[in-house]
Amino acid sequence: MSKRNAILLAVAIALVLVAVLTDFGRNLPFRGSMRPDELPSRRPDRLDAKLLKQFADKPINEIIDSLSESEPEPEKSTADSLLDILPNAPIPFPDDSTPGDPAALKRFVDSVSSGANGKPTPVDRWRFNLAATALNIAETDRPETLRMAATPSTATENFPVSMKRVSEDLKGPIAVGNFDGKDGVELVSNGGAQLSTVAEDGTMTPLDSLSGVTGGNGVYPADYDGDGDLDLYITRPGRLPNSLLQNDGTGQFADVTSELGLLVFSDSTSAAWIDFDNDGFLDLLLGSRDHPLELYRQSEGGTFQPVAWDLALWIPHSVTGIEVADINTDGLPDFFVSVANAKDRLFLTTPAEEWNNWRFADVTGASKLRGSKNGAVAKFFDFDNDGDQDLLLGDRADSGESLKVESMLAGPEKIEAAAPEDEEGAAPEAVPLRLYRNRGDGIFDDVSESIEFAGVQDVQAIGIADIDSDGFEDILVGSDQLTPNLTFWNRQGLEFRDVTVSSGLSYLDQPTSYCSADLNGDGNLDLLISNGRGGARWLSSEAVGTGWLTVQLEGNRPGTRVELLVRDQDWVLQKVNRVAQAGSQITFGLGDAKTVESIEVFAPDLQEPVARLEKQAPNQSVMIHIPKAPRKRAIVPVEERAGS
């Protein structure tokens, strides 16, 4: 073969390989790492284009059945196995608690004791002492090399409420809302596969309206179509499609995912409903591990079209969470995006005359928000009741065997507020839980030290709830498996005190999400805690002698704000603000307040209240109808684009 022919042959082979590999790459279900970090100059091809073509006209259940693979049950880790046989109770274990399997627990203790002459790790010691404590083995009877206290070493103090177990016959994730159009709220569990009513005595009655639905890893209720009832969006992991379930107003649902343009095959992790362009139509943010962050804009006809690239909103992959709040009180939803092994982002929505000129400014650096190693766990809430949404950030734990026992032995240490900035593009090291106060204009100050907030690392989930009904929301921290979950008591917005033990919330089961509501209308807060093992725990507070008021919103939009003006026993007026996301119920703790002077409801984009009630007595539930806002239409319509 001549040299010229050899060269031509080599070039031909190279071109064929490039074509094959390009086509192969396009059809990979997980190709997030191949996405560029910078916004591409042209609209990227869909990573799931081949699957979209294959299943374009198929029902969601049929698609899930086709793509679901029967995999063998994974072997349990040591942590899983130990958790199964320990008492299902908070630590220190109550006297009446019993191990799940005493014989297996005894074998575990004997096995670890037999190797006590070696050099046990802090993890070995912690697990051994948990088991020994559950078996009532005195500390003096434990090998000295293994001995340590099996209770949280964090400081704790008396707390007026202890959360009591109601039920564990639940599976997560969970959402709460009014789905059937009647008074009260219903419970969505099993990741969106089960709807139940809750009676005044706490009895749950399953309904069949979600039968046949495959549960997912997240449930996101909202009235996306503006007809007055809550619909449901379900995210699913792997390459299984997500679902949008449309409610007919009676709690009966129809899957409208494909017909409305929301069929996607991604490893979805999170979603959020937002009306980003303030046109009266709810849009949808969707995050996943393998696909770029996507923003689906709802058209006037109710269909959804992806516009993130059009609006220069670009995170190529590895999104682990999305949290939404109006941080600068301009009536527009801003959002925090958690990203694994990259920089987390805080986006400020920047309006324009035409929808395609709207932008999202990255303001992370302006507030010197610290990054996270695995994608931050984030929550917006108004910890000091000044009307602005503050921000709590924790570094997501490496789930599994990475138990941080050393920190439990030493207790929480003060963490210096000043810390070096992360190098651009580098994955940050693990950092402690941090609290940032909103100045009122969307710029945040780190106040973790000034309010004596304890530094905590390795966070799995964050919950916000006013457990003691004093009007200030408290912090719940879900820790890694076999590490006690933590509770911090908000003292009038001035400091947080560790009440992990006295709150009765120091379980060991790795929460993944928290949901709170007054399920049975008795004024006591109910906590619904989903965990990493697929289960869920329902806990309820006991009456603490303080007042409460439950506001049920009819026609609620995400971001609606409810403001109470209350008068305490000394005749002092105080304001309490809460922001409703998708749910239709907010329960306010009133502390010692004797009178609710007024209740005002503010739509997300309005400065004047859309509804107002005056002179309400505490300890009741009130229904407020929010007038339907006229829908506005953007000047420039979204048009179909090739490849979108």
* pLDDT, mean over the chain: 84
Residue 377 CA neighbour count, 13 Å, CB half: 28
Q: Where are the alpha helices (DSSP H) in 508-641?
A: none
Q: What is the pLDDT of residues 598-620, one digit of tens each?
A: 999 998 877 889 999 999 998 88
Q: What is the pLDDT of residues 14-56, one digit of tens each?
A: 554 545 444 444 444 444 445 678 999 999 999 999 999 999 8
| Structure-token match 């899983």, residue found | 80
Helix or strand holding residue 605 (H, E):
none
Helix or strand holding residue 408 (H, E):
helix 405-410
Q: Could you write out the three-class secondary structure of 477-544? A: EEECCCCCCEEEEEECCCEEEECCCCCCCCCCCCEEEEEEECCCCCCCCEEEEEECCCEEEEEECCCC
Question: What helix, strand, coil percent values describe the chain, rounded to 5?
Answer: 15, 30, 55
Confidence of residue 170 (pLDDT cuts 50, 70, 90): very high
Instruction: Report pLDDT for 35.
Output: 65
More confident residue, 204 or 27: 204
- The arithmetic mean of pLDDT across residues 185-211, rounded, is 90
**Which of 412-416, 446-450, 625-629 reaches the highest mean pLDDT?**
446-450
- ∠ Cα 561 385 624 (to 5°): 30
**The model's pTM:** 0.88
Q: What is the pLDDT of residues 310-355, one digit of tens each?
A: 999 999 999 999 999 999 999 999 999 999 989 999 999 999 988 8
| Structure-token match 């506005």, residue found | 632
Q: What is the pLDDT of residues 104-160, one digit of tens each?
A: 999 999 999 887 667 888 888 999 999 999 999 999 999 988 988 777 665 566 788
Residue 3's SS3 state is helix
The pairing of strands 620-625 and 547-554 is parallel
pLDDT at 561 over 60: yes
Confidence of residue 416 (pLDDT cuts 50, 70, 90): very low
